[in-house]
Structures are given as C-alpha cells and as structure tokens.
Amino acid sequence: MTEKTNSTSTASAETSRTRLRAGFIRRDLYGVAAIVIVAAAGYVLFPDNLALLTRIIAIALLVLSLDLVTGYCGVATLGQAALFGSGAYAAGILSAHYGINDPLLMTLGGVFAGAVAGLVCGIVMLRAHGLPQLVLSIALVYLFHEFANKASSWTGGSDGLSGIVLDPLFGLYEFDLFGHTAYFFGVVLLLIVFALLRIVVRSPFGMLCRGIKEDPVRIRALGASPHKALIKIYIISGAVAGTGGALSAISTQVVALDALSFTQSAEALVMLVLGGTGSLFGALVGTVIFMLFEDFVSAANPFHWLTMVGALLIAVVLFAPKGIFGTVQDLLSARRNRTGETRP
Amino acid sequence: MSAVFEVINLKKAFGGLVVTNDVSLSMMAGDRVALIGPNGAGKTTFVNLVTGALKPSSGEVRLRNEPVTRIGPTGRVQRGLVRSFQVTRLFQDMTPAEHVGLAVLQRTGKSAQLHGNFLTRPAVMEEVDDLLERLGLYALSHRKVREIAYGQQRLLELAVALALKPSVLLLDEPAAGVPQSDTGRIEEALANLPADLAVLMIEHDMDLVFRFAKRVIVLAAGTIIFDGLPADVTKDARVREAYLGSYANAGLKA
Ligand SMILES: Nc1ncnc2c1ncn2[C@@H]1O[C@H](COP(=O)(O)OP(=O)(O)OP(=O)(O)O)[C@@H](O)[C@H]1O
Ligand SMILES: [Mg+2]
C-alpha cells in the first residue's frame, strides 16, 4: 500500500512529470535525428536516384496518413489514395491552370484539398462499420478516379496532368533536373509532418483515438463522441496525404490518374502492415522497405518481384504481426529488460 | 426536493420478448438504491436504456427535470448520468492514470486538444493522482491495465466514473467477478462515494446490498415487483416467488 504524504509526493509527482516531458522530447529528437540521418545517407548513397527517394517520401506521407485512420483509430480503408490524389491534382491544377507556381502555395493547396477530401470520405465512410465500410472506401476511390478521368479538361484525364511549372523555392532554389531541390523540400516536409504528428498522437486527442480503436462504446460512456473524433482524424489524415500528393506533383511535375487509384491505396496498406500499424515509425519503415524492395527486386527480376513482395508480406503477417518496426522494437525492449535496465 | 433522475413508463421489447415492462422510478440526490433481480431480469438492459445505448420502445427518462430521451448517450453523460459496466471495459494498453486523465479531460472539454500531454499537466494530474489514491490505485498509476488484477480493474472502472463527476451513477454489478478477498476494497470504495451522488447499484450479492442500500428495487421479467426498504424485501411474497429456483434464493433466505 502506498500512502502518499502530501508534501513529498507533490514534489516527486512534479519531478516525475518533468522527467516524462523530457522523455517525450528526447524520443522526438531521436526520431527527427533518425529521419535526417537516413535522408542524408540516401542522398550520399544514391545521388543519381533522388527522384526515387523523393517519391518514397511522398508515399511515406500517404502511409503516415493511413496510419492515422487505420493504425491509430482502427478504421480499415482501401481508398486512402483518394486523399493523396486530391492533393496532387490540387497542387498541379493550381500551377497548370491558374499559374500559381510557388511550390509553397501549391503545397498548401494540396494540404487543403486533401483535408476537404478527407472530410468528404470521412463523412461517407463513417456511416458504416466493418466490411461495408471497407467496400465504401473502395467505392470512394473509384469515384474519385472516375471523376478525375472524366474531368479531363482540368486533369488531363488518362494522359495525366502536365504543364506544371515551378518557381524557385523561396525565390532562391530552382527545381533542378537532378531533383536536389525537390528532395530537400520533401525531407523538410516530412520532418515537419512527423514532428506535428508526434504531438498529435501524444495529445489528449491522440489518446481518445486509441480509445476509440479499442472500444468505442467505452468512449461514448465517457461522454465523448467517437464519430466527431473520427471525422477530425480524417481531416488531419487528408491534410497529411494531400501534402504527400502535392510533393509528388511538385517533384515529378505531372499528375497521373494512378495517384488516386485503388492499387495505390492497397499498396499503401501493404506498406503500413509491413512496417507496423499504430506507430509513425512503422509507417516510415514499411514504406522505405517496400519501395526499395520494389525498386531493386523489380530491376533484378521484373517477373517475380510481386511474388517476392507477397512472400515477404505473408512472412511478416504470420511471424511478425506487429510489423517489422513493431517486432524489432519488442525484441529490443525485451533485451533491455533482460539486461536488467529499467524502462523510462 | 425534486428528483435528479426519473424514469417514466419505460418499455423495451426485443422482437416479442418484453425485457423492460413499464418501469418507473425516481431518485433524489444522495440516494443509495440497489436494483436486484434474477439473471435475465432486464437489469443491464435497463441501464442501457436510460443511458441511451439502447432505444426504448416507449417511455421517458429525465435528468433534473429535463427530458433526455431524445438526447444521445454522450449528451446524457455530459448532463451527469454515468454508468459502469458489468464486465470491465477498459483499454488494455493504457494505464490507470491515462484512463482517469482521459475522463477528466473529457469532463473539462479538453479531450479533443491536439497538443500537450496531460501526464505533464499539473492541473489534470493532481486530480488524477488524488482519485487514484482515494481508491488505493496510486501505486499502479503507470502500469498497463492488462497487468493489474481484476479487482483493481473494477476499482479503476469506478475511478473513471467518478472522474466524470456524475450526479447520477449507475453501477452494474461493481463486484462481479472479483475474488472474495478483494470485495472488501470495493465495498469500502462504495461506502466512500460522494454523499450527494445518487447511486443505483445492480448487485447479486445480498450481503453487499443490505450493507449498501437504503432502498431496494426488485426487477423480475422486466417488471418492478418490489420497491421499498431492504428490511422488507425478503418478506415479500412476490419477490420470494420470483427468486424461487434461482441461485440467489440462498441469499434471500437470510
Ligand atoms: N440485444 C438483445 N437482443 C435480444 N435479447 C436481448 C438483448 N439484450 C438482452 N437481451 C435479453 O434480455 C433479457 C434481459 O437481459 P439483461 O442483460 O438485461 O439481464 P440482467 O438482468 O442484466 O441479467 P444478469 O443478472 O445476468 O446480468 C435476457 O433474456 C437477454 O437474453
Ligand atoms: Mg446484467
């Protein structure tokens, strides 16, 4: 039994709070440092392949956005690319049709369009649960795809949206042919989004979302509305996916219909499961592994790369259901506990 | 003094099965009522109906004279009607501090905030620490729920409900599934509930009922067959009949 005597315990509670906050900040800094190190390593190791690396970042933003609704809130969706594609088209259309060529404004346009698409998809999808919800998500991404296809005077239809022109970033850095500027821009976007999402998932709202995933009835008995919270997370998720879409439009200067395809949505889900749902790092790790794997294996053996991705996925689902990142994390903490060190 | 909680002619049928049959009752601030009845009598259904988890076929629920029948479950919680669950519903990967913290944040309208962590907020944590300490859970504040004993989980369920500062508290078998050795702690917690809180407790353990309740309501097959003093309940012929053959008969013979 612990009887906390008031004077000492208030002090100790306060130091434990300070320690907790320091722990959060330290872990965030580790996360940011890890991203910077990997990004720098990519830059040094693959200087001729920056386009691929930038694409990985764009898709990583899509997978992060999926992690918010699926990993943190338990909403299964196969239509997340609808939000990504909305961002990509918005950024592209701003430049191609309105002559707004400032990359920052284009990105903001993508963020906004993604958030609106998130709101729309959220409102529709949250009317159902389970399997019908999954079907709705597929229907939505097909509708978005078909809409973009039909509105060809705006989107270029199946030819893709071209005519995107870019002003220099901050009026200083030209988007060069080798993709240096685009890559740096992407890394910075990813760092900003990552830092913001760390704050969100740790906030009261993030905790509410975790609760909704586990037991919405319980959350309702606390007086909170799961529906409202899920709409909100969908808007946030749309903004993140839209950022990814905008980055993809800016870095490639075209937007293809694939950006809002079912295939892209399903691949994003595969990457998330591969890396581990419910953790921001899981989403990043899954994306990087999947896309590098795709690039290398498809170059080495174009006929069987999908077979190998399938085998990898089965192995992960069966033997490491928490995903690659989640499993490694478990192993590390198990080892740390064995060596007698206490967890923070 | 007027009633804080009123149920008027509440009815519910699942298909042809009538589970709540014209139930009416009212409670004042500070009431300690036990709702008893054989298994399947419709006690949990009653809680689900009045909290808005289920829609009644007809009837009305009032909180401080305000009809809430058309208000959803979350609106009723915000108006002070809070329940606990017969089978503990807690988040396995969260800590007691997080549970109570989430409830405090929700009550104060801050559960949708996108920044900051309550674990580092003195205003929230003081209340959390205080509540957990009162229920003897302070030492477990930062353990995961899956690691703590069931009896402690039942206490946490109570702590979460209290963190919402209810005016009417509906407890669905607060000691269910708890080993005999731990029921004392729960009973102590029940005895220390705020004096002005109106409490309706569903319970099968008659000893607990007699020690806790100032008034007993007996539900059988969806109908209230007794509403009166604990001393009279065992003498009532209809109650004896309803319990005949039921295991709770043993308790009633006392
Ligand atoms: N959703 C439902 N659909 C159909 N029948 C239901 C439903 N929920 C409960 N019932 C039935 O209603 C009756 C009352 O159930 P309820 O759970 O309210 O009983 P109870 O008094 O709480 O019993 P216990 O003491 O075992 O907890 C039971 O016969 C049960 O089978
Ligand atoms: Mg019951």
What's the pLDDT at B6?
94
Q: Is the CB of residue A94 less than 8 Å from the CB of residue A100?
A: yes
- What percent of chain B is predicted at pLDDT more than 90? 67
- Which has the closest alpha carbon to B160: B113, B212, B101, B112? B101
The fold of the A46-338 domain, in CATH, is: ABC transporter involved in vitamin B12 uptake, BtuC (1.10.3470)
User: Does B99 have pLDDT greater than 50?
Assistant: yes
- What is the structure's pLDDT at B245? 55
As a whole number, mean pLDDT of residues A287-293 equals 91
Res. A187: pLDDT tops 80: yes
CATH code of the domain in which B9 resides: 3.40.50.300
Q: What are phi and psi of B241, to 5 degrees?
A: -65, -45
What pLDDT score does B246 carry?
A: 53
CA–CA separation, A250 vs A270, rounded Å?
Answer: 25
Q: How far apart are CA B178 and CA A7, in angstroms?
A: 34
What is the residue-averaged pLDDT of chain B? 89
Per-residue confidence (pLDDT) for residue A319, from 0 to 100:
87
The residue ranking higher by pLDDT, A315 or A22, is: A315
- pLDDT of A212-232, one tens digit each? 999 999 999 999 999 999 999
Q: What is the DSSP string of B197-217?
A: -EEEEE-S-HHHHHHH-SEEE
Q: How far apart are the first and last CA of chain A?
A: 23
Q: Give the number of other CB atoms < 10 A from CB of residue B87.
A: 10
Residue B23, classed as helix, strand or coil, is strand
Return the amino acid letter for B7: V
Domain range for B191 is: 5-253
For residue range B190-243, what is the model confidence (pLDDT) as tens digits? Answer: 999 999 999 999 998 888 899 999 999 999 989 999 999 998 888 888 888 887
End-to-end CA separation in angstroms for chain B: 35
Structure tokens at A11: 């002090």
Query: Is the Cβ pair B160, A222 closer than 8 Å?
Result: yes
pLDDT exceeding 90 applies to what percent of chain A? 61
- pLDDT of A54: 95
- Please count the structural domains in chain B: 1
Please give the torsion angle defined by the CA atoms of residues A141, A147, A150 and A156, in that order, rounded to the nearest 10 degrees: -80
Q: How far is A321 from A326, CA to CA, in rounded Å? A: 8
Distance CA B253, CA A190 (A): 70
CA distance B74 to chain A (A): 4
At residue B25, the pLDDT reads 94
Residue A252 has a pLDDT of: 92
**Does residue A317 or residue B198 have the better pLDDT?**
B198
With 60 as the cut, is the pLDDT of residue A342 above it? no
Residue-wise pLDDT tens digits, A152-170: 888 888 888 888 888 787 8
Question: Does pLDDT of A2 surpass 50?
Answer: no
Contact B114 A199 (CB under 8 A): yes
The predicted pLDDT at position B1 comes to 60
Residues within 5 Å of ion ligand 2 by Cβ? B 43-44, 86
Nearest to A107 by CA among A153, A175, A31: A175
Closest by alpha carbon to A204, among B97, B5, B218, B70? B97
pLDDT, tens digit, 9 for 90 and up, residues A227-284: 999 999 999 999 999 999 999 999 998 999 999 999 999 999 999 999 999 899 999 9
Mean pLDDT of A292-316: 82
User: Which residue, by CA, sits nearest to atom 30 of ligand 1?
Assistant: B40
Give the DSSP letter string of B141-159: TTS-GGGS-HHHHHHHHHH
Prediction pTM value: 0.88
Mean pLDDT, residues B184-192: 91
User: Least CB-CB distance to B74: which of A17, A18, A223?
Assistant: A223
Cβ of residue B180 lying under 6 Å from some atom of ligand 1? no
ipTM strictly over 0.90?
A: no
Cα–Cα distance measured from residue A270 to residue A311, given in angstroms and rounded to the nearest whole number: 12
The contact set of A with B (CB < 8 A) is 1-2, 4, 9, 13-14, 17-18, 20-21, 24, 199-200, 202-205, 207-208, 210-211, 214-215, 217-218, 220-225, 228-229, 232
Residues A53, A43: contact at Cβ < 8 Å? yes
Look up tokens 């002003």; give the residue: A167
Cβ of B153 less than 6 Å from ligand 1: no
CB of B111 less than 8 A from some CB of A: yes
- Give residue-wise pLDDT tens across range B36-54: 998 889 999 999 999 999 9
The ranges assigned to domains in chain A are 1-35, 46-338
Band (A13; pLDDT cuts 50, 70, 90): low
Q: How far is the CA of B94 from the centre of ligand 2 (A)?
A: 26
Give the confidence band of A299 by pLDDT, cuts at 50, 70, 90: confident
